[in-house]
Amino acid sequence: MKIWKNMREWQCHRSATGNQSIGFVPTMGALHRGHVSLVERCRRENDLALVSIFVNPTQFNDPRDLNRYPRTLDADLALLQQAGVDHVLLPAAEEMYPDSYRFSVTAPALTGIMEGTHRPGFFEGVMTVVLKLLCIAGAHKAYFGEKDYQQYRLVSELAKEFFIPVEIVACETVRAASGLAESSRNALLSDGARARASCIYEALSNSRCVASAKAEIEAQGLEVEYVEEHWGRRFAAAKIEGVRLIDNTPLR
């Protein structure tokens, strides 16, 4: 497994890979089973598997949230090595944003619901860094988890809008036995909080309507930010022990 800290050097190497297909999994580290499932599919469907680890500062509207985000680089690299990844991109913030945050991507018509409403500036940061990473990677396919379904839809539109020749692939959410969606933020929760947080999946899957789903989540002591339905799916965001979790399920 080759680690690249200089993105220009990776791009030079990328141009020499010839006709080999490249699959790309962008991550912010703190890897879990959900990431592994993306990597495994990427590995199966491409000649080369490429993963990036970059905690993107521009998508955090609360500096405390950025500081709390788990960073487990050594464990992450060992996991990627075991999963058979060929290349890992480890850019520094100074390289990704050499002149601070001069340029950003906005799409107000697409980001005015759910995460876009409750996390000001979040999607601008996501779209900007994903655009940069897709251009750097030069991959044929890029893999995104359905837990962040709104993000997946936005990235798909972004790739089309900017004529990036990459297929954006959605991968099913990986869950614990309780139904809790795998997330890097789960590591910040106590065992009891993780058990209670499984109510999000239960409510989204089984409640009759949005209002009853919200009530069921709140009954477990979580602070609900939203429960909404879009694109044939039901979405929720809620906080427990100060940790913000999101999830979604297809409508039955």
Catalytic residue chosen out of the listed positions 13, 32, 35, 140: 35
Please name every residue paired with 145 in a beta bridge, in sequence order, or none if there are none. Answer: 171
35 assigned to active site: yes
Exposure string over 107-128, b if 16+ CB within 10 A, otherwise e: eeebbeebbbeebebbbbbbbb
**First-to-last C-alpha distance (Å) of the chain:** 42
Distance CA 105, CA 84 (A): 33
- 218-224, Cβ contacts within 8 angstroms, sequence gap of 24 or more: 220/196, 221/196, 222/196, 222/197
Please name every residue paired with 24 in a beta bridge, in sequence order, or none if there are none. Answer: 50, 142
Residues carrying an active site annotation: 35
